[in-house]
Amino acid sequence: MIKFDNVSKQYEAGRDALSQVSFDVAKGEMAFVTGHSGAGKSTLLKLILAMERASNGQVMVDGINLNRLARAKIPKHRLQIGTVFQDHQLLFDRTVGDNVALPLQIAGFPYQDTQRRVRAALDKVGLLQKEKLMPEKLSGGEQQRVGIARAVVNRPRIILADEPTGNLDPELSNEVMKVFQQFQSVGVCLLVASHDRELIARLNCRTLTLEQGKLIGDG
Amino acid sequence: MTAKRKRTRPQPSAGNQRLQLHRQVARESLQRLLASPLSSGITVLVIAIALFLPALLYLLNSNLNAGLVGAADNTRLTIYLQSNISNTNEQAVSEYLLSKFGSESIEYISEEQAMESFSRSAELGDLLTSLPDNPLPAAFVVSPQLDDDTEIENLILELETMEGVELVQLDRLWLQRLQALSDLLTLLSRALALVVLVGLLAIVGNTIKLLIEHRRQEIQVIKLIGGSNSYIARPFLYTGLMLGLTGGLCACLLIGLMGLNLATAVAELSDLFGGNWRLNGLDALQYLTLVLTGGGIGWLAALIASYRNIATIEP
Ligand SMILES: Nc1ncnc2c1ncn2[C@@H]1O[C@H](COP(=O)(O)OP(=O)(O)OP(=O)(O)O)[C@@H](O)[C@H]1O
Ligand SMILES: [Mg+2]
């Protein structure tokens, strides 16, 4: 589903944020991406989202070579990926419910359907009673969970999560991971960037380890 | 993906759903407009005034034209005779005219008749009657049914060379001058309309551009999630449309108010000159055109501004 083939990324000349990374994540598979701060985890996810382009090598997503993806096709590509951003990326001028509804609105879902799915997604992250609140009234962890609800509401084929449990206590982290595993069990491909070693160890998942842009461990 | 999971896909073909979505977007963009009432109000006012000016010019011109059409039917040729014209010469002129026109379209106005009608119709009458001699000449008045201008000009040349003819005057001359003025007005209103179009596109476009800039961060987030440029542009198009339509409505209001005030003034003026000109306002269709023109310009401006500014915002 997601395939990196000898991928390098340089933001500025001479320094690789990613260097010659190759791996392959199948559908129905969940993998962690770990490594120190600045190792290139976010960069890896940005390449999959076509926010950045690889300097070298090929990124394939669902059989599509992102190097050759036309700009006009990027929105459709992103719509089938649910993403939890490291910095949440919520819209602060609309309610929690409307934030979560955004991917459905973009995809053109009918209103009733949208409402139903938004509540289901908020329920999964334990925020159903905050649907009508504005995001700024929420704590950091709650905002993060809104981001998670938004990422899964569209039932995407791929879920990317950048430090989804960064602001959460172990109990909530486990809840979120359970949601992720539910999606994994129905065939969704998940890539989760995290440096929460305990969590990774507990889940016993495949782990891609980055160090200064190089993939030094896969297993 | 797995066949187990049933996917409910959106069905954009259902017109009802689409309508619902559009209504939602429209409501949203209206809320945004009302959120900054001052800048929206100023933009609407600018649109209203900019549309009002060419519309007013058009209105004046169409009134002028309506008057011209009425007047063109009664072109009159007046042949003023010298006061000392001999009977034979007068006879010659009369016969010449009879050879060209039927007797029913020729009228002879003697010096006394001219004096009489003049003293009746104008205040100059008193002055004239106090003069020792009648200064008014006798005249033939002809209503030629000639459409060809050169034919009339030939006729005038012929008459002017005849013995005892003082002056041949074609009433059409001032008609032609008015016609030229009207043509100029038409040209002017077209030029003005063009200037207004370009100016409004720039002004409304700039308003929309500012709105887009204001929502830069939001646009970035929507793009991250998969919103296309046209999805992002949609509410801005509605905004442009609403600004334009409201501006057009205000322009109609201005025209209407102006018409009310002008109508009485024109009627008074016309009565003073013994005419029966009345100011015609715009009809319903023209009002509608004005509103829709405003809407169209607003929409177009938003379209241009959107495609120039949204594509450059990258997450
Ligand atoms: N837009 C950018 N321009 C220039 N350099 C960048 C940019 N984004 C990231 N980098 C550099 O690329 C390297 C990898 O960054 P990245 O954000 O992928 O790290 P990360 O593993 O996600 O770190 P963290 O755990 O702190 O989020 C860093 O050295 C960073 O300085
Ligand atoms: Mg990061």
For every one of its 315 residues, what pLDDT tens digit does chain B have, with 9 covering 90 and above?
344 444 455 444 556 767 777 787 888 888 888 888 888 899 999 999 999 999 888 888 888 777 766 665 556 788 888 888 888 888 888 888 888 777 777 888 888 888 777 777 656 666 667 777 777 788 888 877 665 667 777 888 888 888 888 888 777 666 777 778 888 888 888 898 899 999 999 999 999 999 999 899 999 999 999 999 999 999 999 999 999 999 999 999 999 988 888 778 877 777 776 666 677 778 899 999 999 999 999 999 999 999 999 999 887
Hey, of A51, A99, A109, which one would you mutate to test binding to chain B, going by the most B CBs within 10 A of its CB? Answer: A109
pLDDT (0 to 100) of residue B28? 82
A-B Cβ pairs (cutoff 8 Å, strict):
75
- Give distance in angstroms: CA of A13 to centre of ligand 1: 14
ipTM value, please give it.
0.92
pLDDT (0 to 100) of residue B34? 85
Which pLDDT band holds residue A129 (cuts at 50, 70, 90)?
very high
- Residue B83 has which token pair? 């006061």
Residues with CB under 6 A from ligand 1: A 11-12, 17, 35, 37-43, 86
Which pTM value belongs to this model? 0.76
- Residue B232 has which token pair? 């992002």
- Residue B209 has which token pair? 């551009």
Decide: A80 and A158 in contact? Cβ < 8 Å.
yes
Give me the residue spans of the domains in chain A: 2-218
Burial (CB count <10 Å: 0-12, 13-18, 19+), residue B55? buried
- Residue A184 has which token pair? 């994994």
Decide: A95 and A131 in contact? Cβ < 8 Å.
yes
Minimum mean pLDDT range among A59-68, A124-133, B227-236, B277-286: B277-286
Give me the residue spans of the domains in chain B: 25-70+176-309, 76-171
A2-218 classified as CATH 3.30.70.1560 = no
B282 dihedral zone (left: phi>0; alpha: psi -120 to 50; beta): beta
> Between the CA of residue B137 and those of B72, B104, B109, B114, what are the distances in Å?
26, 22, 9, 8
Topology of B76-171 in CATH? Alpha-Beta Plaits (3.30.70)
Q: Which ligand is nearest to the CA of A17?
A: 1
Name the residue of chain B whose CA is nearest to A152's CA.
B225
Hey, of B32, B220, B225, which one would you mutate to test binding to chain A, going by the most A CBs within 10 A of its CB? Answer: B225
